[in-house]
Structure 1
Amino acid sequence: MTMDIRRGVAAGVPYAAIGSGPPVLVSAGLWPTTGVGSEAMVSGAIGPLKTLAGERTLVVVNRRGGMPADLGMRGIAAEYAELIREEFGGRADVLGTSTGGSIVQQLAVDHPDAVRRLVLISTACRLGPETKHYQAQTGRLLRRGRTRAAMGVAIMEFMPRGLGPLGRATGWITARRLVPDDDAAADLATTLEAEDRFDLARLAPPISVPTLVVGGGKDKFYDRALFEETAALIPGARLLIVAGKGHIAVTNSAAAQTAIADFLRGE
């Protein structure tokens, strides 16, 4: 996909738009910094939508900088809804990956008028217990100013089992490149804390828009039971589990991309 990126800001939220046609708002997965300045982040966020290239305007959003510590998922989602209203005609298809998926679940609950169809990929109704533990630990360390230790925990979580010490060392070495200053650390902590508190089962009313849930059969952070529970909490939701794919690999699988494109086309 050609990366001809148009950047803008609406409702205080930075976005990066690619292509033309009806909009798909893409809520990116957890990234160590805010905004959409990273082409790697933008490219990764639109990966599940490659088969829609040339048909849609793909609008990538990421958390803004300077978020109040108590903003929470509801506040982040409200800003995304206002962006859709201000910049993209008031309604859009929406896709969220991982942490971005938690945000758009809140968006669909609070602002169903802004969401036409919803795709949730590598995300679920709540964090799994192990992931919740490590995210909470990372957030606490960031709040204490221990950025190197925080990034060690965060990267260790992504490493295959048995390579935890390598992950900690990598996080320690690269911490200031990933999280360059105290403001970035505070914004990341705010996001982690918001996701730790998020639980779709406690929200009302339930998501009412057509929804597709896509998960990998080998996702390290969300097991099959969580994907199934998520789909069960959303009336009429479709569920696709892609066997053999992990948290990130599933976003690039042909099966997932085809299912997402068909769903967003209304097929």
Structure 2
Amino acid sequence: MSAPLPADAIEQRLISVLGQQLRVNVRWGSGVPLVLCNGIGAAFEVFDPLVAALDPATTVVRFDVPGTGGSPNSPLPYGFPYLAVVLGELLRKFGMHGQVDVLGLSWGGALAQQFAFQHPRRCRRLVLVSTGTGVLMIPGRPRALLKMLTPARFLDHQYAARIAGELYGGTVRRDPAIVSQLFDRQLMAGSRVGYLHQLLAGSVWTSVFALPLIRQPTLILAGTDDPIIPVANARLMARLLPHATVHLHAGGHVDLITDARALAPAIEAFRTERNERP
């Protein structure tokens, strides 16, 4: 077990958790830690703009799921229930035995929902960004979804810029190059096997039946110009979750990253609300 480092220290290492090797980054601070779960195929560096926009005193945990960024492939395909157990053990290895807040972006939103369902006492608050309920959700635009089937945009950043507006919507319609710059942050692109494992995990998962059992206060952040996850999914989740608040913005799928300074205050306000879990 690793003892917490002094505030403002950054700890990054590869650790073994239940047979998986995971690259983890922790910015040590104070208060309830915030755990960030990333979108499909993305390494944790993609979250850099958001971390920079958050309260610098906050402990922030980021990690690469198996087969992405600096984490080696999983020996076998996995599902979200297993990955939620892995995340729980990962936090324990860093000495985080108490409550955490969990934020999930896109694919990572499924992991965040699963973690909140499986660890109701450890997850204090839940933030769901540009995400839905899995296979039982309102689908996005077919052309955008087809481009999600391969990791080509992570391997060829110029290609990513060309398709950015159609795929992500929002701020990148005006400045597609921002996506290329975003993916340039990734030190390692991950593997095709890792991407396939993530696709398989999402293809057999839904939270429709579990959401009414998630009692944590939940913030749902959704863009009205999201080609991948239509905004109707945010309204669906809000109806199913007992304690949900919806924050709509005019951006797209990745505006939490590309326009982090505009959206981070909504996350901070939600995390510091005085009302606790009912």
Partner of 2:56: 53
Q: Does 1:25 align with 2:35?
A: yes
Alignment of 1:202-213 (within 5 A): 202-203=209-210, 206-213=213-220
Which of 25, 37, 40 is residue 16 of structure 1 equivalent to?
25
Q: TM-score, normalised by structure 1?
A: 0.73
Structure 2: gaps spanning 5 or more residues: 1-7, 67-71, 168-175, 177-182
Deviation, structure 1 residue 41 = 2.2
Corresponding residue number in structure 2 for 1:114: 122
- How far does the alpha carbon of each residue in 1:29-70 deviate from its partner, in whole angstroms, 9 at most, with x for none? 2235x6x5xxx42414536xx23222x111112202322443
Give the Cα separation in 2 of the matches to 1:217 and 1:245. 6
Contact kept in structure 2, 1:94 and 1:104, CA below 8 Å: yes
Query: Which position in structure 2 is the counterpart of 1:6?
Result: 11
Q: How many residues align?
A: 235
Whole-angstrom CA distance in 2 between matches of 1:185 and 1:178: 16
**Identity within the alignment, %:** 23
Q: Contact 1:121–1:215 (CA<8 Å) still a contact in 2? A: yes
Query: What's the secondary structure of 2:121's corresponding residue?
Result: helix
Partners of 1:240 and 1:103 lie apart in 2 by 20
The 3 A distance-change label for structure 1 pair 188 and 73 is: same
User: Which of 228, 245, 249 is 2:251 aligned to?
Assistant: 245
- Shift in alpha-carbon separation, 1:217–1:109, aligned structure 2, 3 A: same
- The 2-side partners of 1:180 and 1:124 are apart by 25
TM alignment of 1:1-267, pairs within 5 A: 5-8=10-13, 9=15, 11=17, 12-22=21-31, 23-32=33-42, 36=44, 40-44=45-49, 46=51, 50-54=53-57, 56-64=58-66, 65-87=72-94, 88-126=96-134, 128-130=138-140, 139=149, 155=160, 158-160=164-166, 184-203=191-210, 206-242=213-249, 244-251=250-257, 252=259, 254=261, 256-267=263-274
Amino acid at match of 1:17: V
Indicate if the aligned counterparts of 1:207 and 1:235 stay in contact, CA closer than 8 A: yes
Q: Whose helix proportion is higher, 1 or 2?
A: 1
Structure 1 stretch displaced more, 116-125 or 85-94: 85-94
SS in 2 for 1:119: strand
Question: Residue 79 and residue 136 in structure 1: after superposition, are their counterparts in 2 closer, same or farther (change >3 A)?
Answer: farther
Post-superposition CA distance 1:141-180 (Å, at most 9, x none): 78xxxx79x989x95764428xxxxx9xxxxxx9xx9987
Deviation (angstroms), 1:7: 0.6
| CA–CA separation in structure 1 for the residues paired with 2:28 and 2:237 | 31
Q: Does the 8 A contact of 2:37 with 2:112 survive in 1?
A: yes
8 Å contact from structure 1 (residues 136, 196) kept in 2: no
| Distance in 2, Cα, partners of 1:231 & 1:247 | 18
Q: Which amino acid aligns with 1:197?
A: V
Aligned-pair Cα RMSD in Å? 3.5
Deviation at 1:250, TM superposition (A): 4.2
Amino acid at match of 2:207: L
What's the offset of the Cα at 1:204? 6.7
Is this contact kept in 2: 1:124–1:222, CA < 8 A? yes
Amino acid in the other structure paired with 1:129: P
Once residues 131 and 157 of structure 1 are traced to their aligned partners in structure 2, the CA distance between those partners, rounded to angstroms, is: 13
Give TM-score scaled by structure 2 length: 0.70
